[in-house]
Amino acid sequence: MTEHTPDPATTYATVRLSPKADARAIRHGFPWVYSDELVLDRRTKALTPGTFAVLEDAERRPMAIVTVNPASRIAARVMDQNIEAVIDTAWLAAKLTRALAHRTRLYDQPFYRLVHAEADGLPGVVIDRFGDTAVIQPNAAWSERMVENLADALAEVTGVTTIIKNGEGRARSLEGLPEEMAVLRGTAPTAPIAVPMNGATYMADVMGGQKTGLFYDQRPNHAFAASLSRGVKVLDVFSHVGGFALAALAGGAASALAVDGSENALTLASAGAAAMGVEDRFATRKGDAFATLEALAAEGETFDIVICDPPAFAPNKNALEAGLRAYERIARLAAPLVAEGGYLVLCSCSHAADLTKFRNASARGIGRAGRRGQIINTGYAGPDHPLLPHLAESGYLKSVFFRL
């Protein structure tokens, strides 16, 4: 039998908004209370990170059940606007059941993002599913405390037999949580998991790969790029495990070159190409993306489609200007590699750089390269990554398709 973490008590502490906080935003669905909006008196500061509490407005009227982390800039996250709610395993199972119902309508195979944090009503929690295996990222203090309950609910609702806890990444450090990997249920996979998506096969390393092992968010943008790819030559920069490149090959591309700085990622990409039977049309090149773009230009290479899907250059507002310059530089270096009438696909997963800023930086880079382009499509994360309308951060991904 699994040892259960005790469910939280049904009597909660109380925390209060400061008079300057916008209580209406919380009532209308905004899920966060920042540290300068909460009364952080001695009692509140003494609360253990991840504690549940009743949030009151400045007039002491109850508003919601929240989870509190006095050490975080996000001092409270809304769990439930019903102040009678009990946050226990049954409550978690209800949230997971609702999330699962949406994904099973979308996809006929169990490969998707099952939980997208606040947008699915589980603040700070990401769960990606890989068939009978699921990877949980408990990025908020409450979910770290209740990770066993979460695993119980996940197994009950989905039937997955292996559950991995991926406790790594910047989000956890902001919550004051340690980095660790753990197998919560079942046994750790000894080989990458083959993931079918858009007719391609991707190899997900759920124990040693980046994030949960695969990025599901680009699925619709992979599909659109694939629709342009029949019979043409494709370059996929920041390719990870072959994201756009393998989708393009599934769409009939004549060839695809994947560029990434990680040898392990490119090995997984090659394994995916082999599983698809397209290894004869697939090549990899390890190296720094900026340097490789410059080298390809010096070699006189051109491609019908060039895709650049970098990591977040602007992960926060302080990094925004430097990030926009990096996006502009990527566009400037990539544009000369696009054949006349070909396509340049530029992506950003930086929530601090909104679509307008990112698009403008990309257009500047294209212009500085002496090219002109028309935008033919703008893509976002797939529908298994729902966007909470009150929270801009939940809509982080942008993919802009230019025809040059």
Q: CB 263: neighbour CB atoms within 10 A? A: 10
Catalytic one among 99, 256, 344, 349?
349
Q: Check residue 147 and give left, alpha or beta (phi > 0: left; psi -120 to 50: alpha).
A: alpha
CB of 380 within 8 A of CB of 394? no
Q: CB 267: neighbour CB atoms within 10 A? A: 16
Q: What are phi and psi of 292, to 5 degrees?
A: -70, -40
**Could you give the angle at which helices 320-334 and 289-298 cross, rounded to 10 degrees?**
20
- DSSP for 134-148 reads EEEEE-SHHHHHTHH
Distance CA 388, CA 270 (A): 36
- To the query of whether residue 308 is one of the catalytic residues in this protein, the response is no
- DSSP for 101-167 reads HHHHHH-SSSEEEEEEGGGGT-TTEEEEEETTEEEEEE-SHHHHHTHHHHHHHHHHHH--SEEEEEE
- DSSP for 343-384 reads EEEEEE--TTS-HHHHHHHHHHHHHHTT---EEEEEE---TT
User: What residues contact residue 36 under an 8 Å CB cut-off, 6+ apart?
Assistant: 18
| Radius of gyration from C-alpha coordinates of the chain | 22
Q: Is 295 helix (H, G, I), strand (E, B) or coil?
A: helix
Q: Report the catalytic residues.
A: 349
